[in-house]
């Protein structure tokens, strides 16, 4: 028997996404995706694909062109690689996210830090997308929600700890049917996640969650 949450693969309480691991989910056009940083200081890499055409993906570069900004804010659209609005940012309690650097991957840890075999966002997001026939090379460039990658006036970039705190959240309205994957980043070697990898919660709902529903989602 189907229910109103059947497409997302989760109930109204959403799902816990363990720190350092990836999860996939679906949302249909018009549904709301709420992503909560439960403990704070946790970045979460996020990718999305058009459910009807997996070759059309959420695209940071197209979003930057649309918004004429390397950042996004409430009311902005996050764009697809085909130039279509894929999500509307309806709520953002943090205001600082990154869309400039790739997901951490096996090379990042093996080459840059000398730690082969470390968990990483690329493989975390690839894992659930395999069921859709996606190759690891087809995992799109991510939005790194809550990640703090300041860009200074001279153009230099950095990655440092997030400014998000326990309960901070982002609400996106899906504007097309989407397949998504998220990975609370396993980076525990350099700042980014406060050197402590923690859980997130994701919920997909028909209506925009109200204050009491958000409070329930903030509970670990
Ligand atoms: Zn990562």
- Residue 202, classified by CB atoms within 10 Å of its CB into exposed (0-12), middle (13-18) or buried (19+), is buried
Contact yes or no for 217/17 (Cβ under 8 A):
no
Per-residue pLDDT band for 7 (boundaries 50, 70, 90) equals: low
Distance of CA 200 from the midpoint of ligand 1 (Å): 14
Alpha carbon 91 to its chain's center: 14
Residue 65: inside a domain: yes
Distance of CA 66 from the midpoint of ligand 1 (Å): 25
For the cut 80, the answer to whether the pLDDT of residue 170 exceeds it is yes
Distance of CA 87 from the midpoint of ligand 1 (Å): 22
Distance of CA 1 from the midpoint of ligand 1 (Å): 37
Mean pLDDT of 84-94: 98
Residue 1: inside a domain: no
* Residue 8 confidence (pLDDT): 65
Distance of CA 103 from the midpoint of ligand 1 (Å): 5
Residue 4: inside a domain: no
Distance of CA 207 from the midpoint of ligand 1 (Å): 30
Residue 66 belongs to domain spanning: 15-149+160-218
**How many domains does the chain contain in total?**
1
For tokens 């990836």, the residue is 22
Distance of CA 98 from the midpoint of ligand 1 (Å): 12
Mean pLDDT of 110-126: 96
Residue 26: inside a domain: yes
Residue 3: inside a domain: no
Distance of CA 157 from the midpoint of ligand 1 (Å): 17
Mind listing the pLDDT tens digit for each residue in 43-67?
999 999 999 999 999 999 999 999 9
* Spatial distance between the Cα atoms of 213 and 171, rounded to a whole number of angstroms: 12
Residue 101: inside a domain: yes
Torsion of CA 30, 5, 210, 91, to 10 degrees: -50
Residue 177: inside a domain: yes
Element (H, E) at 215: helix 211-218
DSSP β-bridge partners for residue 15:
202
Distance of CA 187 from the midpoint of ligand 1 (Å): 6
Alpha carbon 209 to its chain's center: 18
| DSSP summary character for residue 80 | B
Alpha carbon 14 to its chain's center: 15
Residue 183: inside a domain: yes
Mean pLDDT of 81-100: 97
Alpha carbon 180 to its chain's center: 8
* Residue 9 confidence (pLDDT): 63
For the cut 50, the answer to whether the pLDDT of residue 180 exceeds it is yes
* Spatial distance between the Cα atoms of 83 and 43, rounded to a whole number of angstroms: 26
* Spatial distance between the Cα atoms of 63 and 55, rounded to a whole number of angstroms: 17
DSSP β-bridge partners for residue 201:
16, 36
Per-residue pLDDT band for 191 (boundaries 50, 70, 90) equals: confident
């Amino acid at each position: 028997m189907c229910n109103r949450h059947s497409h997302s693969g989760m109930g109204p309480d959403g799902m816990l996404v363990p720190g350092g691991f990836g999860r996939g989910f679906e949302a249909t056009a018009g549904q709301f995706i709420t992503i909560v940083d439960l403990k704070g200081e946790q970045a979460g890499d996020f990718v999305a694909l058009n459910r009807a055409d997996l070759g059309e993906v959420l695209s940071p570069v197209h979003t930057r062109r649309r918004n004429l900004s390397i950042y996004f804010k409430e009311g902005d659209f996050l764009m697809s690689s085909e130039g279509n609005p894929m999500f509307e940012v309806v709520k953002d309690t943090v205001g600082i996210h990154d869309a400039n650097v790739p997901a951490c991957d096996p090379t990042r840890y093996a080459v840059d830090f000398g730690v082969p075999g470390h968990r990483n966002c690329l493989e975390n997001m690839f894992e659930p997308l395999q069921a859709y026939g996606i190759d690891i090379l087809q995992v799109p460039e991510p939005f790194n929600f809550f990640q703090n990658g300041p860009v200074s006036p001279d153009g230099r970039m950095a990655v440092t700890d997030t400014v998000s705190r326990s309960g901070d959240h982002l609400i996106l309205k899906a504007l097309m049917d989407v397949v998504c994957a998220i990975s609370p980043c396993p980076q525990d070697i350099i700042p980014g996640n406060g050197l402590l990898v923690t859980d997130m919660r994701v919920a997909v709902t028909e209506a925009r969650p109200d204050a009491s529903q958000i409070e329930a989602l903030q509970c670990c």
